[in-house]
Amino acid sequence: MTRAVLTAYFVLVASFLLLPLFFLVPISLTDSQFLEFPPKSLSLRWYREFFVDQSWVDATLASLKIGVGATILSLLFGTLASVALVRADFRAKGLLTAIFIAPLIIPSVVIALALYIVFLRWQLVNNIYALTLVHALIALPYVVMIVSGSLRRYDMTIERAARVLGAGPTRAFLYTTLPYLMPAMFASAILAFFASFDELIITLFISGGLQTLPVRIWNDLSLKLDPTVPAVAVMLTLLSIVGMTVGEIVRRRNERRYQSNSVSEA
């Protein structure tokens, strides 16, 4: 009896979480120039519109560039830092960990304001490289948390064995530990990419005229009437589902291989 009630409740809440997104699909498929539900006739017009409109394409390319750059940088910086955080002993360890993770917890608007003030002084507003670095900072917490978590669970005997067999410390790390870390790095790369790809508030403050995809959507939400935004939303959602599925598959394969016991980290 309680079970049945709970099941019904689960379905209800899950649909509250998911249902709104289903409405996007028919709305994006309308042939009309305005948002309408249900659509009177179906077409892919607004999907086409997205690829024809240079500003949408530019914004997408900018987001991809920044996203890839931020992912590579945060993955590199974050993994290096994780190795030190897990394996070295030093006094400021707790403080540094807190600083690396803080950008995830501190409200974006605080960071946005702080960066806007210094970027105006440094003439870095509207600079794509500076923006990429900022996105790398936003993505860093994910990499540090996941990679250092995975590293902490790592059985050092394998690397030690490599050392005993004559490999130098760097070689030993590259040939034994790095392959083990790969899945965690992959998972954190996906998270890092999405953290950058989805970032709005900080970008809104410091990007100047440069438009990333979220900024473009944000501008469009109040500037235009047509259903390009739902069409973009549907495409983004599909991309997210693919990203999440890939991430989940890699995580599970990793779990099977190393029999880690984490419940559901990704």
Partner 1 sequence: MKLRWTKTTLLLAPATVLAALLFVYPVFGVLKLSVHDGTAFTTDALRQVYNSQLSIIVLQRTFVTAATVTGICLVMGYPMAYFMAGLSPRKRVLATYLILLPFWISILVRTYTWIILLGREGILNKALAALGLTAEPVQLLYTPMAVHIGMVQILLPIVILTCLTSILDVERDLVKAARSLGASPRQAFWKVVFPLSVSGAATGGIICFILCLGFYVTPTLLGGRTSTLIANLIDLQVHKTLKWDLAAVMASTLLAATFSCLLAYWALTRKRSEFATGGLAR
Partner 2 sequence: MTMTRRAFGIGTGALAAAFAFKPSFAQDVTIVVNGSGGALATMITKIFEEPFTRDTGIKVRATAPVSLPKLKAMVESGNVEWDLTELNGDDVVTATKAGWLAKIDYSIIDPDNKLPAIAKQPTAMVRASYSTVIAFRTDKFGKGKTPQSWADFWDVKAFPGPRSLENSPKGNLEFALLADGVSPDKLYPLDIDRAFKKLDQLKPHIPVWWTNGAQHVQLLIDGEVSMTSCWNGRITPLRNEGKPVDITFKGGALMLSFLAIPKGAKHPTEAMRFMKARMDPAASAEFVKLVPYPGFVPGMMELLDPAFAATLPTSPENAAVQFEFNSAWWAENLDAVTTRWNEWLLI
- Give me the residues that bind partner 2 (CB under 8 A), please: 33-35, 55, 120-121, 123, 125-126, 208-209, 219, 222-225
Of the listed pieces 46-54, 178-186, 192-200, which binds partner 1 according to CB under 8 A?
192-200
Residues 135, 63: Cα–Cα separation, whole Å: 10
**Stretch 116-145 residues interacting with partner 1 (CB under 8 A):** 116-118, 133-134, 136-137, 140-142, 144-145
Q: Which does 165 bind (CB under 5 to 8 A by kind): partner 2, partner 1, none?
A: none
Q: Which does 33 bind (CB under 5 to 8 A by kind): partner 1, partner 2, none?
A: partner 2
Residues 206, 10: Cα–Cα separation, whole Å: 41
Q: Provide the 8-state DSSP code for 191.
A: H
**Stretch 17-56 residues interacting with partner 1 (CB under 8 A):** 17-18, 20-21, 23-24, 27, 35, 37
Residue 176 near residue 126, CB atoms below 8 Å: no
Q: Is 94 in the site for partner 1 (CB under 8 A)?
A: no
Phi-psi group of 166: left, alpha or beta (phi > 0 → left; psi -120 to 50 → alpha; rest → beta): left
Question: Considering the complex, what minimum distance in angstroms separates the CB of residue 217 from partner 1?
Answer: 5
Number of other residues whose CB lies within 10 A of the CB of residue 213:
23
With respect to partner 2, which residue has the nearer C-beta, 47 or 116? 116
Question: Considering the complex, what minimum distance in angstroms separates the CB of residue 57 from partner 2?
Answer: 13
Question: Considering the complex, what minimum distance in angstroms separates the CB of residue 149 from partner 1?
Answer: 7
First-to-last alpha carbon distance for the chain, in angstroms, is 33
> How many residues lie near partner 1 (CB under 8 A)?
90
Q: Which does 167 bind (CB under 5 to 8 A by kind): partner 2, partner 1, none?
A: none
Of the candidates 73, 250, 70, 69, which has an alpha carbon nearest to the alpha carbon of residue 150? 250
Collect all residues with Cβ–Cβ distance below 8 Å to 33 and sequence separation of at least 6. Answer: 225, 226
Question: Considering the complex, what minimum distance in angstroms separates the CB of residue 134 from partner 2?
Answer: 17
Tell me the C-alpha to C-alpha distance, in Å, between residue 145 and each of 61, 105, 187, 215: 28, 13, 11, 28
Choice from 68, 210, 250, 266 touching partner 1 (CB under 8 A): 266
